[in-house]
């Protein structure tokens, strides 16, 4: 289940991609299939080991084209182990709402992104997320849980302040919002409640079969109750004058 829409966020074969806070690896796998040189990074070592296993299985099965590469590694989003301007593309999906220093994470992403590169950021949408918080304290008052709810204009403002230029937004996963409302209403850890089990079966069926009816329904409902807010941005090239001034300053410092 992808949150990033790759028709709005195109990848070219050979693009160097960082999937930051990759979790189970869903976006990293898709980038690998599209021929990218992928680095999937997460602080959770257990998940990283699973992602590495799936990368190996995909390679063995021939799911990735020639030239595509994939690496899974542990790391800290606030101290990325990469040189400046290392990546053409950065994806951070459903991560920033967990991190106290979200501006620091944005700064690190901008640092490792090449000028002209692209970033995709996804977070829980304000309205559906607010309902989850109202229904259940356990939903967010857990270690490593959600510590903030973004309004769209707030996130876009932080993206601009980090030096990025937003170029598009949309909402995703409308069919998943009611599932999380049910989870919060019946108990976040209570998977045995009949409404929760029934709706989960519906979601699994939808993900596996992709029937036209639910695809159309979700497209219509996304603007209203889409569970995720997705923003796309680019890192502008420095004006030639600024780049020249920077080089002169650096030479003078030597």
Q: pTM for this one? A: 0.91
pLDDT tens for the chain, 254 residues: list them.
899 999 999 999 999 999 999 999 999 999 999 999 999 999 999 999 999 999 999 999 999 999 999 999 999 999 999 999 999 999 999 999 999 999 999 999 999 999 999 999 999 999 999 999 999 999 998 888 899 999 999 999 999 999 999 999 999 999 999 999 999 999 999 999 999 999 999 999 999 999 999 999 999 999 999 999 999 999 999 776 554 454 444 444 44
In three-state secondary structure terms, 77 is coil
Contact present, 107 and 80 (Cβ < 8 Å)? no
| Residues contacting 214, CB < 8 A, separation 6+ | 175, 206
Which residue is it, tokens 């680095």?
39
Tell me what pLDDT residue 247 has: 45
Q: So what's the pLDDT on residue 143?
A: 80
Tracing tokens 């020639």 back to the chain, one arrives at 66
Quote the CA–CA distance of 110 and 180 in Å, as a whole number: 32
Backbone phi, psi, residue 119, to 5°: -125, 140
- Residue 220's pLDDT is what? 97
Residue linked to tokens 């990325």: 80
What pLDDT is attached to residue 249? 46
Angle at 65 between CA 236 and CA 30, to 5 degrees: 60
């Amino acid at each position: 289940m992808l949150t990033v829409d790759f028709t709005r966020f195109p990848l070219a074969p050979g693009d160097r991609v960082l999937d930051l806070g990759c979790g189970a690896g869903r976006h990293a796998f898709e980038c690998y299939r599209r021929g990218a040189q992928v680095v999937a990074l997460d602080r959770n070592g257990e998940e990283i080991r699973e992602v590495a296993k799936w990368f190996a299985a995909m390679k063995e099965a021939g799911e990735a084209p020639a030239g595509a590469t994939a690496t899974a590694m542990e790391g800290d989003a606030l101290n990325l182990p990469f040189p400046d301007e290392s990546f053409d593309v950065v994806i951070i999906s459903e991560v920033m709402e967990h991190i106290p220093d979200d501006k620091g994470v944005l700064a690190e992403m901008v640092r490792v992104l090449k000028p002209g590169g692209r970033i995709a950021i996804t977070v829980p949408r304000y309205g559906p997320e607010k309902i989850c918080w109202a229904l259940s304290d356990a939903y967010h008052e857990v270690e490593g849980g959600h510590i903030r709810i973004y309004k769209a204009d707030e996130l876009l403002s932080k993206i601009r302040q980090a030096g990025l230029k937003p170029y598009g937004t949309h909402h995703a996963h409308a069919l998943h919002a009611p599932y999380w409302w049910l989870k919060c209403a019946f108990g976040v850890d209570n998977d045995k409640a009949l409404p929760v089990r029934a709706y989960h079966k519906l979601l699994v069926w939808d993900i596996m079969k992709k029937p036209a009816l639910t695809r159309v329904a979700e497209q219509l409902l996304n603007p209203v109750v889409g569970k995720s807010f997705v923003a796309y941005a680019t890192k502008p090239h420095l004006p030639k004058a600024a780049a020249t001034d920077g080089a002169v300053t650096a030479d003078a410092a030597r």
